[in-house]
Amino acid sequence: MKINGILFLLLVFLLSACGGRKQNSQQQTQAPVSAEKSAEMANHPGKKVYASFCLACHMADGSGVPGMHPPLIQTEWVTGDKERLINITLKGMSGKIEVNGETYNSIMPPHSHLSDKQIADVLTYVRKSFGNNASEVMIEEVQKVRNK
Ligand code: HEC
């Protein structure tokens, strides 16, 4: 009688332990696909360049600061012509511009002190993060614009 009781408790313990493990593995396989995509950019070298040189103004999620620093989400400068985007990064930007319906009239400092690789990396990161899905920027493309 006593042994039966112990065996019963052991069985209950084993069953609940198995159940717990099953739940964990189910949670792992159900990870959303979008998390994989952002994980790819999470390890991209451009993320570090962004954190050091762009994040303070354009924010970690690229949303900018209303009335001060424009967003980098689905803007024509970010996802459009690469030469123009490289030029903005190298030489900075000033004067009145309208970004996604909001007017900005501020100053972005030049970033020509960054290497061609750093600029290629950060612009690839920006063009593929924050919901953007544009092509990558190559080191040679930055070189060409810098030497123009
Ligand atoms: C000191 C703040 C500051 C920093 C640092 C900065 N920006 Fe900007 N950026 C601005 C401002 C302000 C503008 C708008 C300038 C204007 O009003 O003409 C701008 C405009 C832009 C634009 C064009 C408009 C848009 O929103 O699409 C892009 C692209 C851009 N920045 C990318 C970058 C990248 C990439 C970096 C890092 C390498 C960076 N910026 C660093 C302040 C900054």
Kindly state the tokens that stand for 81: 């012509």
Give the pLDDT confidence score for residue 30 in this predicted structure: 46
Of all atoms in ligand 1, which is nearest to the CA of residue 105?
17
Ligand 1, CB cutoff 6 Å, lining residues: 53-54, 56-58, 69-72, 75, 77-78, 85, 88-89, 93-95, 97, 99, 104-109, 111, 122, 126
Give the pLDDT confidence score for residue 23 in this predicted structure: 47
Place 126 in a pLDDT band, splitting at 50, 70 and 90: very high
76 lies in some domain: yes
pLDDT tens sequence across 62-95: 999 999 999 999 999 999 999 999 999 999 999 9
Parent domain of 65? 42-146
**What is the spatial distance between Cα 40 and Cα 50, in angstroms, rounded to a whole number?**
15
CATH number of the structural domain spanning residue 74: 1.10.760.10
Place 40 in a pLDDT band, splitting at 50, 70 and 90: confident
Q: Please tell me the total count of domains within the chain.
A: 1
| E strands present in the chain | 93-99, 102-108
Q: Is the pLDDT of residue 24 over 80?
A: no
81 lies in some domain: yes
130 lies in some domain: yes
**Strand partners of residue 122:** none
